[in-house]
Amino acid sequence: MPPDRRSGRCGPGAGADEPPKLGIFSARFAIGRSDADSHFRDTTMDIPTLAARDVRRALEEDLGTGDLTAALIDPQAMAQATVRTREAARLCGAPWAQACLHALDPAARMDWKAPEGAELPADFVFLELRANARALLSAERTMLNFLQLLSAVATQTAQYVEAVRGTRAQIVDTRKTLPGLRLAQKYAVRVGGGMNHRIGLFDAVLIKENHIAAAGGIAPALERARRVAAQAQFIEIEVETLEQLDEALRADARMILLDNMPLERLREAVALTGDRAVLEVSGGVDLDSVRAIAETGVDRISVGRLTKDVRAVDLSLRFAAE
């Protein structure tokens, strides 16, 4: 039975204290879902555990043997602070911010004025804090780094998702992530309404031009992939021409990546494929072109810019009188 090319979207999370429901982490992250096709099985992770791991590494990098400047402050002093937006953004990173401050002051109070995934206007106070002054000063930069980065990824993803609204296309991320923060950035993509592609080289197969050449062709490459990677979440093969697409379909490819094809060629590819395979587009996708690509009828559009070309959201943390 051919795969159903229609699949649902994953929306943003429900709240800052309850991040998007991605379940308990095993070896993989959530990768998307189609009820009719096991290639899109959901895998899940424990977000607080991931956040604590990332934060531990970040604090070790920043604090080293101790915060020399914070040592000027009375160790018993308490402080209040607010965090506000300086520009409109989709909020993301609450679990990382919480892990950061609570690592230095487990009794710190964090009062979130907006849930994870909320669309925030500029000049909006979305977080009020009360904590040990030294802890808050030491955590400030690392906490903001996570909030600014992950909110930027979620915000940019949401823009792409909105651009293709009303089409069947899903916006999908790539492996073009910051080293060491891949899972955090892929979480942010989900908060932005996008979908996750493979997490790494271990969980799915993407057969590209050089793999095809080394294996002796499209059909042999697919056949070998099915033998050696039966545990893979999915097997996808890249094609550059309609002739290669037809060859992949005849070899029973279930997911096909159309690389750098012009719009007219994409429409022809969709017509040729019908419902026999999931079609994904990659290469040169930006906000100016993504709508036209989606309107060709493809199923997925992978966008490296979601996690690679990211400008941090402008946030400000300010102390208030205690």
The distance of Cα 156 from the centroid of its chain, to the nearest Å, equals 10
- 157-184 in b/e burial notation, b at 16+ Cβ within 10 A? bbbbbebbeebebbbbbbbebeeebbbb
Determine the pLDDT at residue 25: 29
Q: What angle do CA 159, 162, 163 make, to 5 degrees?
A: 85
**Does the pLDDT value for residue 240 go beyond 60?**
yes
> What CA–CA distances, in Å, run from 217 to 113, 248, 279?
56, 10, 20
The Cα–Cα gap between 45 and 24 comes to 4
Per-residue pLDDT tens digits for 96-141 = 999 999 999 999 999 999 999 999 999 999 999 999 999 999 999 9
Mean pLDDT of 246-266: 97
Active site residues: 141, 176, 208, 238, 259
**CATH classification code of 164-306:** 3.20.20.70
Mean pLDDT of 83-91: 98
**Does the pLDDT value for residue 92 go beyond 50?**
yes
Mean pLDDT of 226-255: 95
Confidence of residue 322 (pLDDT cuts 50, 70, 90): low
Mean pLDDT of 42-67: 88
Mean pLDDT of 278-287: 95
